[in-house]
Amino acid sequence: QLFKRLGGTDGISSLMDALYKIALVDNRIKDYLLKDPDRIKLGQAVYITEMLGGPKQYKGQEISTIHKTLGINDYHFDCFMGDLNRAMMGAGHPESLIDEVLVALEPVRADVLGHSRDAMDGVVMKDGQCLLDRFGGD
């Protein structure tokens, strides 16, 4: 389970702190976060925790509703994911774990951008585990 491999709640919290140190100075996306960075970071942390197999605690608005009027596009989403990648690398996470986390979070792109999800989205990751992990493979 990705949530546990990242260090659980404390690990996600540390990761979000590192991510926001990067994202809040990233001229490509910082304006989306500066309005209320603490609230946004907390909401994202809870949502990402769920996406990676942690406790189900997100009670916020639908992701598509939150982002509907912001004008975020693929470029902005890619920038955020790149910042997440850098934060994970800086924390010393192995490349394989970083790849798994990025793949697990990729389906959120459709919601953030207001696109419909492909029928195959979500099949690869479920509760923070890839298909191989769910079947006990390696």
pLDDT digits (tens, 9 = 90+) for 69-95: 888 999 999 999 999 999 999 999 999
pLDDT band at 125 (very low <50, low <70, confident <90, very high): low
In the block, residue with structure tokens 């902005």:
76
pLDDT band at 119 (very low <50, low <70, confident <90, very high): very low
pLDDT digits (tens, 9 = 90+) for 3-13: 999 999 999 99
47-51, 66-70, 98-102: range with lowest mean pLDDT: 66-70
CA distances from 80 to 20, 26, 27, 41 (A): 10, 9, 11, 12
Closest among 86, 77, 84 to 107, alpha carbons compared: 77
